[in-house]
A and B are shown apart, each in its own frame.
Chain A
Amino acid sequence: MANAFVATFEILSFGAIIVLIVLGLGIIASMMGIFNFAQGEFVLLGAYITYLAYARGLPIWAGMVAAPFVVGALGFVLEALIIRRFYAAPIVAMLGTYALGLIIRESVRGLIGGFYLTVPEPIGGSIDIGSVHISAWRFTIIVITLLVMAGCYLLLSRTSFGLRMRATLENPSLARASGISTPLMYGATFAFGSALAGLAGALIVPVFSLYADLGLRFLIQGFVAVMVGGVGSFIGPVAGAGVIGTLSAALPWVMAPVVADVLVFVLAIVFIKFRPQGLIAGKGV
């Protein structure tokens, strides 16, 4: 019983991490039609900023709060300078964002060297429920993920900003005719997606420690999750991330980890092949 509870918690917390990472990726992919290969590097940057704050002697919380804002601002600038030119051609966008990611990743690698740097958990220790102990920080990640998801959903579905964003992304020319500044909305969407990646990086760095290929590790899982969930809505990628994250964490409990690792990808690709629209089809929030 206790074992099953621990397993469930592990699966949940890994699922939450994947959801957190995919949120930003999914918003950019669904709303702008761009598969952002630099998203993993935005995650890396968020982690790096948290580490910097820690290394300078600031409280880790400060770094975690700063990370989404800094990365979001960077995303806004990059969108205005570079990404904007790629909207017409999705494949070129992939290559361009890949180049951007390469630059960011290698710069960070140069700054931290080839090391694995650890950042302590801001909330250490464990929560004890009877005889089982679960990591307090992982539990916090689950809670924050739920809050962020709810916040994004409310932002997109209930505010006028969300309405304008969805209008821009669904029909740009009509949105322009209605007086919405579409370039600004694209910039804001991209910045928002980047900021979520920065937040994800800041939150996961105590769990995974900081190294240059941190973002790359999650990028492909993130893409697969977005495709499984379905491009075009907010809910789709989140659902896909939940499925992929849960499967990746749950399968190794029942079979050899190597087989499980590969099986997740194979299953996902086969699923997408026969259901290209994904789990949740259609527009909407």
Chain B
Amino acid sequence: MLKSMGAAKQAVHANVGSETDVPVAKSTSSGRKILPIVEGVVLVAALLAPLVLQDYLTVFATRVIILALFALSFDLVWGYAGIMSFGQALFFGSAGYGVALLARDLDITNILLVLPAGTIIGLTSALLLGGFLLLGRHPSSVIFVSLGTLTGSYAADRLARGWYYLGGQNGIPSIAPMSLGGYEFTEGPAFYYLVLGILVVVYLLCRFLVRSQFGLALAGLRENEQRIAFFGYKAQHLKAIIFTIGGAIAGLAGSLYAFHEGFVWPNMVGVVVSTQVVLYVLFGGSGTLIGAVIGTVIVEGVSFWLSDNYRDVWPIILGLLLLLVILFRPLGLISFVLGERERVGSFGAKPKEKRNAAP
């Protein structure tokens, strides 16, 4: 008892007394290390999943991983830059339609061609739409951008439904599987690990991006756009850049989704999928990359689990839960384990010890 009190006193002393002795202070102020643990647990679980899951569940898990990649793109745009993109499915779906057309009309299924093609389709459409909505002499209001993306997605949905070349209501069925040389990626563990690998790479790239100086500028943008503009940053350009990156990732996810499901249909570009991705990210926790992944896994997992008995009730429960999260946990489920300080994190190169000492 006495001994532990003494130790605590010493710790306090170390904490208060010596500004230079930062590592001690860091280890005593716990909660600095939760994020990597969460990420590690999720990664290990994802790596082991196909070993314990049955075949049909592996197929389901693959779909979830692809959707998590898609959720990542929305999180980047909303959670980090504060652009409410209600039409993220536009990039997801148009890339899906694009690669489906490549496979159908030109017989191109080589993975080294279709994935970059999908990414470029997503990137280009996001650049065009984002450039139009965000750039210009007068900065656009957040409301205009969110309704503009929503309208874009809705219009694309109507176009896909009505255009015979795109298959109308039925979409494009039976897309040939992706191939690499003679190997064909069909549903199963190989596809799962391919998608997981892509997710991990994209995740790490995003993590690097949001922790860089660029990420710092974005965080400033999200918190107070006017101040960032006064500092001399071109706020609109930053927004357009991150919007385009988000579009590219959504395009990559969309092309994977098209090949995994084997068909594309109008909902994929429409409002349904656009709002679904908003749900994932809000549940998990916007502003943390891992939150988007966890949110996707939880929403899709519970929905799959309930689908046998409670198919009709689930959307109502989903709506209620969403309302509760918005009202009482605006930072999502991840905020139960993750402190505010760690969520914001640090930026740029590893700071010098002195600088980090100031709380």
Q: Is B144 a contact partner of A276 (Cβ separation < 8 A)?
A: yes
Q: Is B319 a contact partner of A106 (Cβ separation < 8 A)?
A: yes
Q: Is B327 a contact partner of A95 (Cβ separation < 8 A)?
A: no
Q: Is B154 a contact partner of A220 (Cβ separation < 8 A)?
A: yes
Q: Give the shortest distance, in Å, between B199 (CB) and chain A (any CB).
A: 26
Partner of B315, one of A96, A102, A266, A268: A102
- Complex CA–CA separation, A276 to B275 (angstroms): 25
- Complex CA–CA separation, A95 to B84 (angstroms): 10
Q: Is B151 a contact partner of A258 (Cβ separation < 8 A)?
A: no
- Complex CA–CA separation, A142 to B162 (angstroms): 29
B303: Cβ under 8 A from any A Cβ: no
Q: Is B318 a contact partner of A220 (Cβ separation < 8 A)?
A: no
Q: Is B318 a contact partner of A257 (Cβ separation < 8 A)?
A: no
Q: Is A91 a contact partner of B146 (Cβ separation < 8 A)?
A: yes
Q: Give the shortest distance, in Å, between B222 (CB) and chain A (any CB).
A: 11
We find that the number of chain A residues with CB closer than 8 angstroms to chain B is 35
User: Do A216 and B271 contact each other (CB < 8 Å), given the known contacts A99-B326, A223-B151?
Assistant: yes
Contacts of A110 in B (CB 8 A): 312-313, 316
User: Do A257 and B162 contact each other (CB < 8 Å), given the known contacts A92-B330, A98-B275, A276-B138?
Assistant: yes
Q: Give the shortest distance, in Å, between A78 (CB) and chain B (any CB).
A: 11
B42: Cβ under 8 A from any A Cβ: no
Contacts of A269 in B (CB 8 A): 133, 148, 151-152
- Complex CA–CA separation, A99 to B313 (angstroms): 14
Q: Is A106 a contact partner of B158 (Cβ separation < 8 A)?
A: no
Contacts of A220 in B (CB 8 A): 150-151, 154, 271
Contacts of A107 in B (CB 8 A): 316
- Complex CA–CA separation, A110 to B317 (angstroms): 12
Partner of A103, one of B138, B319, B330: B319
User: Do A227 and B142 contact each other (CB < 8 Å), given the known contacts A95-B326, A102-B322?
Assistant: no
B278: Cβ under 8 A from any A Cβ: yes
Q: Is A35 a contact partner of B158 (Cβ separation < 8 A)?
A: no
Q: Is B151 a contact partner of A103 (Cβ separation < 8 A)?
A: no
Contacts of A90 in B (CB 8 A): 142-143
Q: Is A95 a contact partner of B278 (Cβ separation < 8 A)?
A: yes
Query: Nearest A residue to B147 by beta-carbon distance?
Result: A223
- Complex CA–CA separation, A96 to B86 (angstroms): 14
User: Do A102 and B154 contact each other (CB < 8 Å), given the known contacts A82-B327, A85-B327?
Assistant: no
A176: Cβ under 8 A from any B Cβ: no
- Complex CA–CA separation, A227 to B108 (angstroms): 43
Contacts of B316 in A (CB 8 A): 102-103, 106-107, 110
Contacts of A268 in B (CB 8 A): 151
Q: Is A261 a contact partner of B322 (Cβ separation < 8 A)?
A: no
Q: Is B313 a contact partner of A227 (Cβ separation < 8 A)?
A: no
Q: Is A276 a contact partner of B141 (Cβ separation < 8 A)?
A: yes
Query: Nearest B residue to A91 by beta-carbon distance?
Result: B84
A273: Cβ under 8 A from any B Cβ: yes
Query: Nearest B residue to A274 by beta-carbon distance?
Result: B136
Query: Nearest A residue to B330 by beta-carbon distance?
Result: A92
Q: Give the shortest distance, in Å, between B326 (CB) and chain A (any CB).
A: 5
Query: Nearest B residue to A257 by beta-carbon distance?
Result: B162
Partner of B327, one of A96, A258, A266: A96
A32: Cβ under 8 A from any B Cβ: no
- Complex CA–CA separation, A103 to B321 (angstroms): 10
Contacts of B144 in A (CB 8 A): 227, 272-273, 276
- Complex CA–CA separation, A102 to B279 (angstroms): 11
- Complex CA–CA separation, A79 to B138 (angstroms): 33
The digit string for A71-111, where 1 denotes a CB below 8 A from any CB of B, is: 00000000000100100001110111011111100110110
B216: Cβ under 8 A from any A Cβ: no
A262: Cβ under 8 A from any B Cβ: yes
Query: Nearest A residue to B321 by beta-carbon distance?
Result: A99
Contacts of A35 in B (CB 8 A): 143, 147
Q: Is A262 a contact partner of B155 (Cβ separation < 8 A)?
A: yes
Contacts of B229 in A (CB 8 A): none
Q: Give the shortest distance, in Å, between B296 (CB) and chain A (any CB).
A: 17
Q: Give the shortest distance, in Å, between B188 (CB) and chain A (any CB).
A: 33
User: Do A265 and B154 contact each other (CB < 8 Å), given the known contacts A91-B142, A106-B316, A109-B312?
Assistant: yes
Q: Is B147 a contact partner of A273 (Cβ separation < 8 A)?
A: no
Contacts of A272 in B (CB 8 A): 144, 148
Q: Is A262 a contact partner of B143 (Cβ separation < 8 A)?
A: no
Q: Show 21 A/B contacts (Cβ-Cβ < 8 Å), sorted by A.
A: A90-B142, A91-B142, A95-B282, A95-B322, A96-B323, A99-B319, A99-B322, A99-B323, A102-B316, A102-B319, A106-B312, A106-B316, A110-B313, A220-B150, A257-B162, A258-B162, A261-B159, A272-B144, A272-B148, A273-B144, A276-B138
Given known contacts A94-B84, A106-B319, what 12 new A-B pairs fall within 8 Å (CB)? A92-B326, A95-B322, A98-B275, A102-B315, A110-B312, A223-B147, A258-B158, A262-B155, A265-B155, A269-B148, A272-B148, A273-B140
